[in-house]
Homo-oligomer: A and B are copies of this chain.
Amino acid sequence: MDDFRLCPNVNFCSLCAAPVVVRIPDDDNRPRHVCTVCGEIHYINPKVVVGCLAEFGDRILMCRRAIEPRYGKWTLPAGFLECGETLEAGALRETMEEAGANVQLDGLYTMLSIPHASQIYVMFRATLAEPVYAAGTESLEVALLSEAEIPWEEIAFSTIHRTLRHYFEDRRRGRFDVHVGEVAPSHQRPLPDA
């Protein structure tokens, strides 16, 4: 039942407005929100966050967040995948919305599960053809930053920190692999991104 507490509250049926109960449906093996009148089962599943690590020369396109959570912290352009979108389309859209940048995707780079948040992060490598960018409504500022310029102590999310770290390591050794992994809750990590 532990995992169930990670899901949002559902009190009423979104189809008929009757109360829902939490029970294990007959053909299932875990508790769901089930309508007491129409019987609809309201499944809740993890969400996908998609974005880009976009480079221009030796610098990376980064955004300082103008929204919570982590207002004022630095991140890569990324956001929730929308219905009807491919992962690639979502990554390009978020990069345009948050960083005002039109990038070319170079391939999947990191895919990180965050089970305690019920999220999957999918980050692509990308390239800016020109150093053209602008802060969108969700960004305080946007900048192209070298490895030394990145405010490593001011990164918004562990997934972003890890994606950047993989990138600079891979760049030094001259090969970019796809990285698949898991991000644990911060209280289970000995260091911010260990």
Residues of A within 8 A of B (CB): 2-4, 6-7, 9-17, 20, 27, 29-30, 42-48, 80-89, 97, 107-108, 111, 113, 115-116, 118, 120, 122, 137, 178, 180, 182
Contacts beyond the supplied A10-B15, A86-B182, A111-B111: 14 A-B pairs with Cβ under 8 Å: A2-B84, A6-B84, A11-B17, A12-B13, A17-B17, A29-B97, A44-B83, A45-B47, A45-B83, A48-B120, A87-B113, A88-B113, A88-B182, A111-B122
Q: A111 contacts which chain B residues (CB < 8 A)?
A: 87, 108, 111, 122
A45 touches B14 (CB 8 A): no
Residue of B nearest to A19 (CB): B17
The CA of A188 and the CA of B137, in the complex, are separated in Å by: 36
The CA of A4 and the CA of B83, in the complex, are separated in Å by: 7
Cβ distance A118 to chain B, nearest Cβ, rounded Å: 4
